[in-house]
Amino acid sequence: MVVSCPGLCCPDGRPRDPGDFGDFGDSGDFGHLEAARLLERVIAVVTGFCPKVEVVEPGVCAFGARGPARYFGGETALAARIIAAVADLVVESRVGVADGLFAALLAARGASPASAASPGRAADSSSAILVVPPGGTAQFLAAQPVSVLADQDLAGLLKRLGLGKLGEFAALPARDVASRFGDAGEYAHRLARGLDPRSLAARPPPADLSVAQEFDPPESRAEPVVFAAKALAEQLHAGLAARGLTCVCVQVRATWADGRESSRLWRHDGLLSAAGVADRVRWQLDGWRPTPGDGAPSDREADAGQHPEGGIAVLRLSPDLLVRAAGQQLALWGETVVSDRVARAAMRVQAMLGHEAVLRPVIGGGRDFADQVTPIPFGEKTEPRLAADQPWPGRVIGPAPSLVYPAAHEAEVTDDAGEIVTVSGRCMVSAAPARLAMPGEPPRRVTGWAGPWPLSERWWDPAAARRRARFQLATDDGRAWLAVVQDGRWLIEAAYW
């Protein structure tokens, strides 16, 4: 049996009959993605009647009708039910039934489209069904024009030879067809005689390898959930191992009674034990735990029942990115091997604060001290933002500052007369800096200074261009500062002490 949805087929540019659309949707120019999604839903509907469905081409699926037809009381009755069910998705469909896939496809194409795809008019669907009786396939095919063959070159040749109908082509001896037309001709000849070149490759529906546990009543304490997670993880691993698979990631999804969800992917690589998965569930739940006001690590029992979410209703573990279990091989050379202990600690903190909260510094190049360190979230590929092997003229040489402020601090640098020290366009300083004042701190006397060191970066890019003059200042408290003048303002970028 072949179910064809004309509105969903042929996204590859074959001419579409505008009439095929019926009142499907509002317009014919829906995107491929939308069509694919709709097709997926249609397939799901058809799968409800028969689990083993083969998608033949976009918009067309086929399945063996014998079993389901007997169950639903005949092929016509089954087809009517399918058309009605698909019409619920506002998709018109046609059904063809024949002994082979090719004939059934032609039958579905030959069935006149259901006049309107509305659920209320499913009774009219009989015109959208064409059933070729058992044994009548050869006769049905004989009346078809040769142009129905997919091989249009062959169809044209046959037409020029005076063979207009498939029946005339089928009447030729198979041996002569093979010697004259080759493999393609033999294949078409088999189709024309109603013999299927292959059987339906209907695969059983994919097994659901995810495991879940419901908590009724919802569980507000973490311990029982983590305990259940351990059993679930064992179940998940057993299911994967039975199929010779392993997963790269495992998704832990906890649903609270009020409908909120916490979903997180954890690296698995087939290395995690059930207890390891349970640990990750615990960290994930810890991360969602409302933080106590005093910031103290509180007992789990102490704040049990304080969950505003009302407890966990469902815990589901889904394997992600399945791969064949082929064992593990570590690289001989490479980056610093992150030991299990460190990875656990880092991931635990990530579970509490988020992925971006745990960083690994990578030393790169750049003219600013802040640019030379690229913080990379733990678990990601460590690569500096700016290459370290470039010369970077204009960078400050000498000892690196022990404090590099993520956001430069505002400051005021004044001379002996109390005027703000300015730097001219020709990089001349108005006067020697005498005092450094930062908001909220008493002013410091400048005991030594050097500069200005001009730095003009990315003048070709108006968005990123910066013109600055840098100074090193030493103050009477024994500290030293890296200050810049940009747009007439003084900023402290880094400090030395």
Partner 1 sequence: MPVGESGPSAVPGAAPGSGTLPVLPALRELLPRGGLARGSVLAVAEFGLLCLALVAGVSADGAWCGIAGIPEAGVLAAVGLGLDAGRTLLVPDPGPAWPQVVASLLDGCELVLLRPPARAPAQVRQRLEATLRRGRGVLLVTGDWPGAQVRLRVVTQRWTGLGDGHGRLRACCAEVVANGRGEAAMTRTRWLWLPAENGGVAVADPRDLPADFPFDVPAGLPFTQASPALRAVSNG
DSSP 3-state of 376: strand
**Which of 143, 171, 302, 363 is close enough to bind partner 1 by CB under 8 A?**
363
Which residue, 195 or 404, has its beta carbon nearer to partner 1? 404
User: Measured from the CB of residue 331, what is the shortest distance to partner 1 in angstroms?
Assistant: 15
**Which of 195, 200, 359, 491 is close enough to bind partner 1 by CB under 8 A?**
359
Radius of gyration of the chain (CA): 36
Q: By C-alpha distance, which of 308, 289, 309 is closest to 299?
A: 289
* Contact call for residue 444 and partner 1 (CB under 8 A): no
The stretch among 172-180, 185-193, 311-319, 359-367 that binds partner 1 (CB under 8 A) is 359-367
* Contact call for residue 345 and partner 1 (CB under 8 A): yes
User: Measured from the CB of residue 380, what is the shortest distance to partner 1 in angstroms?
Assistant: 13
User: Measured from the CB of residue 226, what is the shortest distance to partner 1 in angstroms?
Assistant: 16
User: Measured from the CB of residue 222, what is the shortest distance to partner 1 in angstroms?
Assistant: 14
CA 448 – CA 457 distance, rounded (Å) = 27
CA distances from 233 to 58, 185, 215, 238, 461 (A): 38, 55, 16, 8, 53
401 to 430, contacts with partner 1 by CB under 8 A? 401-406, 429
DSSP 3-state of 448: strand
**Which of 344, 385, 466, 467 is close enough to bind partner 1 by CB under 8 A?**
344
Binding mask 280-319 for partner 1 (x = CB under 8 A): ------x----x--xxxx----------------------
Contact 90, 132 (CB under 8 A): no
Which residue, 148 or 376, has its beta carbon nearer to partner 1? 376
Contact 190, 284 (CB under 8 A): no
How many CB atoms are located within 10 Å of the residue 82 CB? 25
Phi first, then psi, for residue 375 (nearest 5°) are -80, 125
User: Measured from the CB of residue 341, what is the shortest distance to partner 1 in angstroms?
Assistant: 5
CA 395 – CA 397 distance, rounded (Å) = 6
* Contact call for residue 76 and partner 1 (CB under 8 A): no
368 to 407, contacts with partner 1 by CB under 8 A? 369, 372-373, 375, 378, 382, 396-406
Binding mask 475-494 for partner 1 (x = CB under 8 A): -x-xxx-------------x
SS (H, E, C) 449-497: EEEEEEEEECCCCCCCCEEEEEEEEEECCCCEEEEEEECCEEEEEEEEC
Which residue, 294 or 461, has its beta carbon nearer to partner 1? 294
Q: By C-alpha distance, which of 13, 8, 60 is closest to 34?
A: 8
CA 103 – CA 140 distance, rounded (Å) = 8
* Contact call for residue 254 and partner 1 (CB under 8 A): no
Q: By C-alpha distance, which of 369, 373, 370, 396 is closest to 384?
A: 373
# binding residues, partner 1 (CB under 8 A):
60
User: Measured from the CB of residue 212, what is the shortest distance to partner 1 in angstroms?
Assistant: 28
Which residue, 26 or 294, has its beta carbon nearer to partner 1? 294
**Which of 71, 227, 459, 497 is close enough to bind partner 1 by CB under 8 A?**
497
Contact 61, 55 (CB under 8 A): yes
* Contact call for residue 169 and partner 1 (CB under 8 A): no
CA 186 – CA 198 distance, rounded (Å) = 14
CA 144 – CA 162 distance, rounded (Å) = 14
Chain residues binding partner 1 by CB under 8 A are 286, 291, 294-297, 335-336, 339, 341-346, 348-349, 352-353, 357-363, 369, 372-373, 375, 378, 382, 396-406, 429, 432, 447-451, 472-474, 476, 478-480, 494, 496-497
